[in-house]
Amino acid sequence: MNGHLQFSEKKNKRDLSDIKGGTSTPRSGPSEKIINKINRAVNERRTFYSFEFFPPKTEAGVMNLYNRIDRMVAKYEPMFVDVTWGAGGSTAKLTLEISSNVQNYCATDVLMHLTCTNMPRDSVKDALDKAKEAGIRNILALRGDPPHGQDTWEKCDKGFEHALDLVKFIREEYGEYFGIAVAGYPEGHISSPNLEEDIKHLKLKVDAGADFIMTQLFYDVDLYIDFVKRCRQAEITVPILPGLMPINSYNAFKRMIAYTKATVPKEIIAAIEPIKNNDAMVKAFGIELAKKMSQKILRTGLTPGLHFYTLNLEKSVTKILGGLGLARLPSKGVRPLPWKQSCATRRRNEDVRPIFWANRPYSYLSRTISWDEFPNGRWGNSTSPAYGELYDYHLMGLKSSSVRDRLRMWGGEVQSEQDVFDKFADYIEGKIARLPWCETGIMLETLPLKQRLMAINKTGFLTINSQPRVNGARSDDEVVGWGDPDGYVYQKAYIEFFASPERIKSLKALASRKEYKTLSYHAVNAKGDQFSNYTDKNAVNAVTWGVFPGREVLQPTVVDMDSFRVWKDEAFALWISQWRSIYSSGSASWEIIQKIHDTYYLCNIVENDFVKGGLDKFMDELAGYTPAEKSASTNTEEKSKTEKA
């Protein structure tokens, strides 16, 4: 749906009276206990995998981690991710922050680590309360490592001594709200006298309420197999997930086995020593080793899934999954909704959003996070939704970048407004990775219209959001499909752009012509001056809907005039916070961006005729798109259709 722009047709109304209403059946949203998802995978004989990440030490590292998690979750769909708790509780605040953000914004369930180290009972409860408030449902209960600088672990005052105590506390205080995982050690915990005693202690943790077990890393698969069999003999019946850490470098591998005391088979040592000074060969060996270990583990049938310690790296893990045949791209055409859902428990039934934040979803989630209820089946048109205040972090988002990176990405100084127009055209062409209003590149559906879009932007209509006209496309369509099987989806063509007052004046004149009577537009500037041809100034216009067997019509995306007025503040603020800020105050570039902010309008247009609408013709005429350019664009579109056929 939220590709940058496509007007050409692809064969392809809910009542909007009450934002709090709606009678549609609640979805089994993604936010739930991980053990329930594991049990479903077992019943379906489906192998799953999960990823572990740790909190980086720098702000830039945290931003990079968000991007990586978001990318890996979207591309590979792990069952869950887990976020570690630093030694001695050193990353307590950041662990909670990352877990909360990933849970709320990256559409995956999070298993948050929680340790006893340096954590009095009150601090543990505070962390759990905040986790619950953030919608986190799963905790990995650990004793934890000694604080930095200490060789031995000591219980803190009014704290817990063992992970068992932490498991008991969670169950006593929170009942069954949290799913609980605990650690297992295939070679026994370093502080245990022997493996038998360690398994007895593990049994106590399970009996106290642990739902499943995740093992420490190992390189001897036979030890894991023996460990699981011993656990079963001890009547531990919960799933035991193997923890796998791919070898990415020789030195890191040696440090890790020295720290964990993990046994390394002689054949692995014999294979890695001769190549230890060749990083590429070591990494390739690590990928192949992890693949073979995984294959051997899965053949035993002792585990339904694999857990990967990623070390915040991406390529090795994804290559391993590819080698195993497990790396699956998200299933096309089976998205529950056109936009990515949040994992937050309170948003499980949310199924309506304004289209304006389509390319800045994190900001929308953040600005609505305090809502007690979310639109389900209806979007109100009587009062303005109470969006959260616009703060700096909304403008930065989870995908922000440094001034230097933005300067490099957008090509340095601008000497005229035309230079800015060209930057937008470069984004369409793929020369620029993103814009402040568009956190990713253009969508697949946009590619056939690249020449047209570049021309529109070069003439000063700076497009930031759009969707194609769709008339009855199947719900499993690879590009625009969503919702239940055997359904049909529909969309009104939509475009949103910045333009000068002169261009908005031309737009008003052109839109008044009879041939464009099915167009609805709304334009507003930074000061709040606005123009619109809507007769109802609080209008809500459904622009995406779907018809599915055995249920009422779903309308997940709307154009809401009140929400647009809220969005315009954010959209204009991005000119200042993300673009003007990279230039010296008072410079020519600074002044140009300031002028655009102060004088331009933000405009959205909806083509209400989703069968024969002519938004493409309207924009061509408005932008002065010449017949020769149209011909080139048409040839491109016809070529694309032929290739698809």
Longest dimension (CA), the chain: 87
> Strand, helix or coil at 456?
helix
- Could you give the residue numbers annotated as active site? 52
Gap between the Cα atoms of 88 and 144, Å rounded: 7
Torsion over CA: 259, 260, 265, 267 (sign): negative
In the numeric block, which tokens belong to residue 548?
Answer: 């599915």
Tell me the chain's radius of gyration from C-alpha atoms. 27
> Are 476 and 485 a contacting pair, CB within 8 Å?
yes
The torsion angles phi and psi of 48, rounded to 5 degrees, stand at -125, 175
Calculate the CA 311 to chain-centre distance.
19
> Are 28 and 477 a contacting pair, CB within 8 Å?
no
> Are 607 and 614 a contacting pair, CB within 8 Å?
yes
Exposure string over 542-556, b if 16+ CB within 10 A, otherwise e: bbbbbbbeeeeebbb
Question: What are the strands, taking DSSP E only, across 487-634?
Answer: 488-491, 493-499, 519-525, 530-532, 540-547, 554-560, 601-607
Q: What is the DSSP string of 606-641?
A: EE--TTT--HHHHHHHHHT--HHHHHHHHHHHHHHH
Gap between the Cα atoms of 80 and 444, Å rounded: 28
| Phi-psi map region of 306: left, alpha, beta (phi>0 left; psi -120 to 50 alpha) | beta
- Packing angle, helices 417-429 and 450-458, rounded to 10: 170
CA angle in degrees (0–180, nearest 5) for 36-339-62: 75
Sheet of strand 470-474: strand arrangement: 353-354, 554-560, 540-547, 488-491, 470-474
Exposure string over 594-612, b if 16+ CB within 10 A, otherwise e: bebbeebbbbbbbbebbee
Gap between the Cα atoms of 355 and 346, Å rounded: 21
Q: Provide the H-helix boundaries in 308-384.
A: 315-324, 361-367
Q: How far is CA 175 from CA 85, 170, 210, 346, in A?
A: 23, 7, 12, 19
Q: Which of 462, 603, 609, 430 is nearest to 530 (CA)?
A: 603
